[in-house]
């Protein structure tokens, strides 16, 4: 049985779309709406718009749009039913038992994998108290019960088949366990558990579903890998997964930066120390996908690495990646042999916080890394390294940030900025030709919203904006004025207004008609027009109220509607007068035509005087 449409509408109406999307995207208010960097494509200027009043979003860069359910489906890879249930849970609405929707085969497979992984998580947690070595590990690392619970730590027993047997007894098929990365199959067809005698760290997606595991060995065998991770699966992509992000994302947005560390235990230790805007990569080095995920939440990262050679080299690669991606970046290099976990454990929270505050700028770090790995006493080597550092800054997309970095590099290496610029490919690419006018920075960035996506009259723009944004204006148009959408001159405007009129007949809520946009049965180009109309409308500034001027939103939109109707009528009269004038030229003695033209001109003059 599908979920009743009235319950879906109630869930959508009660959801705060800004709060939901704000868990994944850093949004800032612009007028009545909110804007941010689109989570679905790479961009430098925010073109992702969210309307809290209508409960919809639109990106004018890639075209993605929808409501709160669509966003969760697109971002978290959920089915519609999963998205509805997620939102319903957050707003405290119960879904009737038996309400289901037939998922696609791919969705169903993913759901089975996640169910198996979460069952495995529960099994490992149940084994933790029984595993002596795991308990010793927890004690030695100083982990509180609160942190064990928060990160859902568990233990895999030494047995080769314990997990597989337990989950098979729960009804999970072996091929599902294999595809989830929990068991492996031998050539003879028998299976064995992938994780044995290890502390288990569940790995979650941004929706909080378990999608894989990290596992730390409890064996004394020197040939046993210290950490292993789940293999790549249909639900787990290590190159695009952060450990702990679902717990850290709110703090990242609040703190306006993310702290990236190397290990699972580092994340747990820093969370325990109150540094909760902290995440770690999951079994791989930092990737472009990782950076892109964080760019949706913040524009700044702090990289924390061990002070050994591997840590310096990993930090060097990560700094370059962050700079190329347009992120502001700082680096913390810990004393050799230390990591955040060991600092918190052995030296205390305050010392750990002090160490993490010793941040190097990207230039300070890059120069230090270069001098650590190269002999700068030789002029040829120093020249080569300085040029390499300048070229490393060339791809920084923000021109102002790039110049500031070059200035700092100039100060640290004693080479003038203009000379550093001339040594980089960016200088040759970005320098204008002689006599070529350099565009003003004010106009160099692309607009956040495009021009109208379809030809439409200015008065149609006003009318449609009023109708989409105000239910009162829409009801006035259709019930009081009995306006016929077919009279609009432009085809796309007619289609949109006809769809709104039809929606109003079946929608008993008091929502503005624009909130039903995702459900309207209209062509894509008409939907794009409607989105443009909604997100480009600017209401009078609330600051007018500081001067004693009362601003009524509905009154503003009603005025907009009346003005648009007046202009449309004036346009109709003008067109009719032109038609009759042509007829009069053919029939110069037709007194009746002359009188009609006179009457219409009088009406047109009246409308012109009434219309501002």
Q: For the segment 526-537, what is each residue's pLDDT rounded down to a tens digit?
A: 988 999 998 887
Q: How far apart are CA 332 and CA 303, in angstroms?
A: 6
Distance from C-alpha of 455 to C-alpha of 154, rounded to nearest angstrom? 61
Q: Which of 309, 278, 316, 315 is nearest to 294 (CA)?
A: 278
Residue 187: per-residue pLDDT: 87
* Angstrom distance (rounded) from CA 334 to CA 332: 6
> Token match 């970095």: residue?
405
Residue 292 binned pLDDT confidence (cut-offs 50, 70, 90)? confident
Burial class (CB in 10 A: 0-12, 13-18, 19+), 474: buried
Same domain, 224 and 277: no
| Separation of alpha carbons 534 and 527, rounded Å | 11
Does residue 13 form part of some domain? yes
What is the sign of the dihedral through the CA atoms of 528, 9, 50 and 87?
negative
Core vs surface per residue 194-231: b (16+ CB within 10 A) or e: bbbbbbbbbbbbbbebbbbbbbbbbeeeeeeeeebbbe
pLDDT reading at 514 higher than 50 = yes
Whether 317 and 254 map to the same domain: the answer is: yes
Cross-strand bridge partners of residue 34: 29, 50
Q: Is 517 exposed, middle or buried (0-12, 13-18, 19+ CB in 10 A)?
A: buried
The answer to the question of residue 286 being in a domain is yes
Instruction: For residues 155 and 523, give the distance between their C-alpha atoms in angstroms, rounded to a whole number.
Output: 54
Same domain, 230 and 243: no
In the block, tokens 């308990």 appear at 135
Same domain, 499 and 556: yes
Q: Within 13 Å and on the Cβ side, how many CA atoms surround 562?
A: 13
- Beta carbons of 211 and 236 less than 8 angstroms apart: yes
Confidence band of 431 (pLDDT split at 50, 70, 90): very low
Predicted pLDDT of residue 435: 39
The contacts of residue 568 (CB under 8 Å, 6+ apart) are 457, 459, 460, 463, 487, 488, 489
| Residues listed for the chain | 612
Angle at 103 between CA 102 and CA 106, to 5 degrees: 150
Q: Are 148 and 218 members of one domain?
A: yes
Residue partners of 448: CB distance under 8 A and separation at least 6: 35, 45, 46, 47, 49, 60
* Residue 437 is assigned to a structural domain of this protein: no
Clarify whether residues 170 and 261 are in a common domain: no
Q: What is the pLDDT of residues 123-167, one digit of tens each?
A: 999 999 999 999 999 999 999 999 999 999 999 999 999 999 999
Looking at the structure, do residues 490 and 593 belong to the same domain, yes or no?
yes
Say what the pLDDT of residue 136 is.
95
Residues above pLDDT 90, as percent of the chain: 47
Two tokens, residue 561:
């509607």
In a domain, 442, yes or no: no
Residue 441: CA atoms inside 13 Å, Cβ hemisphere, count? 3
Residues 560 and 583 in one domain: yes
Distance, CA of 287 to CA of 318 (rounded, Å)? 8
Tokens of 232: 């790549």
Number of domains the chain is built from: 5
Are the CB atoms for 329 and 319 separated by under 8 Å?
yes
pLDDT, position 141? 92
Q: Which two tokens stand for residue 179?
A: 């595809």
Quick one: which H or E segment has residue 146?
helix 145-150
Copy the structure tokens of residue 327: 């992120």
Domain that holds residue 241: 237-360
pLDDT score recorded for residue 573:
80
Q: Which is more confident, 93 or 78? A: 93
Identify which has the larger pLDDT, 95 or 445: 95
Residues near 143 by beta carbon (within 8 Å), at least 6 away in sequence:
153, 268, 272
78 band by pLDDT with thresholds 50, 70 and 90: confident
Structure confidence at residue 99 as a pLDDT band (50, 70, 90)? low
Q: 557: closest CA among 515, 512, 520, 527? A: 512
Q: Based on the fold, state whether residues 386 and 305 are members of the same structural domain.
A: no
Assigned domain for 444 exists = no
In this structure, are strands 300-305 and 328-333 parallel, antiparallel, or unpaired? parallel
Q: Which CATH number do you get for residue 341?
A: 3.40.1360.10
SS3 77: coil
State mean pLDDT over 82-105: 77
In this prediction, residue 510 has a pLDDT band, given cuts at 50, 70 and 90, of confident
Q: In angstroms, rounded to a whole number, what is the distance separating the alpha carbons of residues 202 and 267?
A: 13
- Of 91, 119, 149, the residue that ends a domain is 91
Distance of CA 128 to the CA centre of its chain: 36
Same domain flag for 229 and 255: no
Whether the pLDDT of residue 49 is over 50: the answer is yes
Band (433; pLDDT cuts 50, 70, 90): very low
Classify 125 as helix, strand or coil: helix
Q: Out of 91, 119, 153, pick the residue that ends a domain.
A: 91
pLDDT(350) > 80:
yes
Reduce the DSSP state of residue 582 to 3 states and report it: helix
Single residue among 343, 360, 377 that ends a domain in this structure: 360
Please report, for residues 8, 196, 197, the alpha-carbon distance to residue 220 in angstroms, rounded to integers and kept in the order given: 55, 13, 11
Q: Are residues 50 and 166 in the same domain?
A: no
Whether 430 shows a pLDDT value over 50: the answer reads no
Residue 526 lies in a domain: yes
* Averaged pLDDT, 566-594: 79
Question: Mean pLDDT over all residues of the chain?
Answer: 86
Residue pLDDT, tens place only, 219-244: 988 889 999 999 999 999 999 899 99
Same structural domain, 36 and 84: yes
Residue 54 lies in a domain: yes
């Amino acid at each position: 049985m599908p979920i009743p449409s009235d319950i879906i509408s109630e869930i959508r109406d009660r959801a705060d779309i800004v709060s939901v999307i704000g868990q994944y995207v850093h949004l800032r208010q612009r007028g009545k709406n909110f804007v941010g960097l689109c989570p679905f494509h790479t961009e430098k200027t925010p073109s992702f718009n969210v309307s809290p009043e209508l409960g919809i979003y639109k990106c004018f860069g890639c075209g993605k749009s929808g409501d709160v359910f669509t966003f969760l489906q697109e971002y978290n890879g959920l089915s519609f039913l999963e998205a509805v249930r997620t939102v319903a849970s957050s707003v405290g609405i119960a879904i009737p038992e038996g309400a289901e929707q037939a998922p696609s085969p791919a969705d169903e497979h993913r759901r089975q994998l996640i169910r198996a992984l979460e069952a495995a998580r529960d099994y490992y947690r149940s084994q933790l108290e029984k595993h002596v070595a795991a308990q010793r590990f927890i004690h030695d690392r100083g982990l509180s019960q609160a942190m064990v619970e928060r990160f859902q730590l568990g233990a895999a027993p030494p047995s080769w088949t314990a997990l597989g047997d337990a989950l098979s007894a729960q009804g999970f098929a072996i091929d599902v366990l294999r595809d989830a990365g929990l068991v492996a199959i031998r050539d003879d067809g028998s299976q064995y558990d992938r994780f044995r005698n290890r502390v288990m760290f569940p790995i979650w997606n941004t929706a909080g579903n378990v999608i894989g595991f990290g596992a730390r060995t409890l064996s004394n065998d020197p040939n046993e890998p210290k950490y292993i991770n789940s293999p790549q699966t249909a639900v787990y992509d290590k190159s695009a997964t952060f450990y702990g992000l679902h717990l850290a994302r709110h703090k990242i947005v609040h703190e306006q930066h993310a702290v990236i560390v190397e290990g699972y235990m580092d994340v747990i230790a820093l969370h325990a120390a109150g540094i909760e805007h902290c995440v770690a990569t999951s079994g791989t080095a930092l990737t472009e996908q990782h950076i892109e995920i964080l760019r949706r939440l913040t524009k700044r990262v702090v990289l924390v690495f061990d002070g050994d050679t591997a840590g310096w080299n990993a930090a060097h690669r990560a700094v370059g990646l962050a700079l190329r991606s347009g992120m502001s970046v700082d680096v913390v290099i810990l004393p050799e042999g230390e990591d955040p976990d060991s600092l918190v454990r052995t030296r205390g929270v305050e010392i750990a916080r002090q160490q993490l505050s010793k941040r190097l700028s990207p230039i300070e770090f890059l120069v230090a890394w270069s001098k650590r790995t190269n002999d700068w006493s030789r002029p040829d080597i120093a020249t080569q390294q300085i040029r390499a550092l300048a070229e490393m800054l060339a791809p920084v997309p923000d021109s102002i940030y790039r110049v500031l970095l070059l200035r700092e590099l100039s100060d640290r290496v004693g080479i003038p900025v203009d000379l550093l610029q001339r040594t980089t490919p960016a200088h040759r690419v970005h320098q204008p030709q002689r006599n070529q006018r350099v565009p003003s920075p004010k106009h160099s960035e692309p607009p956040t919203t495009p021009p109208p996506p379809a030809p439409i009259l200015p008065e149609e723009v006003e009318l449609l904006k009023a109708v989409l944004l105000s239910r009162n204006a829409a009801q006035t148009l259709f019930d009081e004025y009995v306006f016929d959408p077919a009279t609009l001159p432009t085809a796309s405007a007619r289609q949109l207004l006809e769809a709104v009129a039809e929606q109003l007949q079946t929608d008993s809520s008091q929502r503005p008609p624009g909130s039903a946009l995702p459900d309207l049965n209209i062509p894509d180009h008409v939907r794009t027009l409607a989105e443009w109309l909604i997100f480009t409308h600017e209401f009078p500034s609330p600051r007018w109220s500081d001067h004693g001027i009362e601003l009524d939103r509905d009154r503003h939109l009603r005025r907009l509607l009346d003005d648009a109707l007046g202009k449309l009528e004036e346009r109709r009269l003008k067109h009719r007068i032109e038609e009759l004038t042509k007829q009069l030229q053919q029939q110069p003695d037709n007194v009746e035509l002359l009188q009609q033209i006179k009457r219409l001109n009088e009406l047109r003059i009246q409308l012109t005087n009434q219309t501002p």
